[in-house]
Structure 1
Amino acid sequence: MLNGMFAVIRYSVPEARAEEFTRSARSVLAVLAAQSGFRSGRIGRSVDEPNLWAVVSEWDGAGFYRRALSAARMDMYPTMDMVVNEPSAYEIMEEIA
């Protein structure tokens, strides 16, 4: 088993709220990046479904990620209504560099 985990939080973002979402996602990512155990993060938009966005982050472990979510809760609040309700934390099982 490899160390670490990654998280994928998907959002369904109406085009009219894309700018608001981008600002909020940047803020959330900045808060997450300041937390212990953070490795990397990115914001992405589906090339096939432009209303589908994701905030992806990599962590030293699930505990770090869960504590970081608590720290980012207030920054995440403005766009919580756009979150796709599904599991977001994935343990890294294989990796190719």
Structure 2
Amino acid sequence: MIAIARFQVPMSESASFRAEIELARDVLAQAAGYLSGTVGQNLDEPTLWVLSTEWENVGSYRRALSSTRAKLEAIPVLARAIDEPGAYE
């Protein structure tokens, strides 16, 4: 499954946001079932960002989000995501 989270971030916060979202990706990458992940900044609208991760299955993704480390380090960043469906088969 693929999980996509998009973010609207002011240009003044770009550098700090990149560090935060890359840390969130790295935390998720340590979970069982994680296959790959990418952080990107939109080329046409540089205030738009994306975190795209690929997982063995939806259960792996949900378990990763419920880990203590994810709750402390990844969820606060992911909570800033644009409110839209982000899980794809």
* Length-normalised TM-score, structure 1: 0.81
- Separation (CA, whole Å) in 1 of partners of 2:58 and 2:71: 16
Q: CA RMSD in A?
A: 1.3
Give the aligned partner of residue 86 of structure 1.
Answer: 84
Identical amino acids, percent of aligned pairs? 38
Gaps of 5+ in 2: none
Gaps of 5+ in 1: 92-97
Deviation at 1:73, TM superposition (A): 2.6
After superposing on structure 2, the runs of 4+ consecutive aligned residues of structure 1 that deviate more than 6 Å are none
> Over alpha carbons, which structure has the higher Rg?
1
For 1:16-31, what aligned pairs fall within 5 Å after superposition? 16-31=12-27
Give the aligned partner of residue 94 of structure 1.
Answer: none
Matched letter for residue 82 of structure 2: V
Give the aligned partner of residue 36 of structure 2.
Answer: 40
